Amino acid sequence: MTIRIKVPATTANIGPGFDSLGVAVNLYLTLDIIKPADTWYVHHDYGDNIPHNEQNFIVKTALKICASLPPHEIKVTSDIPLARGLGSSSSALLAGIALANVLGQLNLTSQHILEKATQLEGHPDNVAPALLGGAVAAYYDNSTVYHASFDIDHSLRFVTFIPHYEMLTETARAALPASLSFQNSVQASAIANTLVAALTHHDLNTAGRLMELDQFHEVYRQSMVPHLQEIRQVAHQLAIHGTFLSGAGPTTITVTTTDKVTPLIQAINQLNLSGDIHVLQIDPLGLQITGE
Tell me the C-alpha distance between 96 and 89, whole Å.
11
Return the closest-CA partner of residue 208 out of 15, 12, 13. Answer: 15
Cα–Cα distances in angstroms (integers) from residue 47 to residues 6, 33, 37, 67, in the given order: 21, 20, 22, 26
Residue 110 · residue 131 · CB < 8 Å: yes
Query: Which tens digit of pLDDT belongs to each residue from 223-256?
Result: 889 999 999 999 999 999 999 999 988 999 999 9
Tell me the C-alpha distance between 287 and 130, whole Å.
6
Average pLDDT over residues 80-87: 90
Query: Which tens digit of pLDDT belongs to each residue from 195-226?
Result: 999 999 999 999 999 999 999 999 999 888 99
Query: Which tens digit of pLDDT belongs to each residue from 164-203?
Result: 988 777 788 888 889 999 999 999 999 999 999 999 999 9
Q: Is 75 exposed, middle or buried (0-12, 13-18, 19+ CB in 10 A)?
A: middle
**Helix residue ranges, H only, the chain:** 57-65, 88-103, 110-121, 127-132, 169-174, 182-200, 204-211, 218-221, 227-237, 261-269
Average pLDDT over residues 1-18: 94
Q: Which amino acid is at 51?
A: P
- In sequence order, which residues have a C-beta less than 8 Å from that of residue 36 and are 6 or more positions away? 70, 71, 72, 73
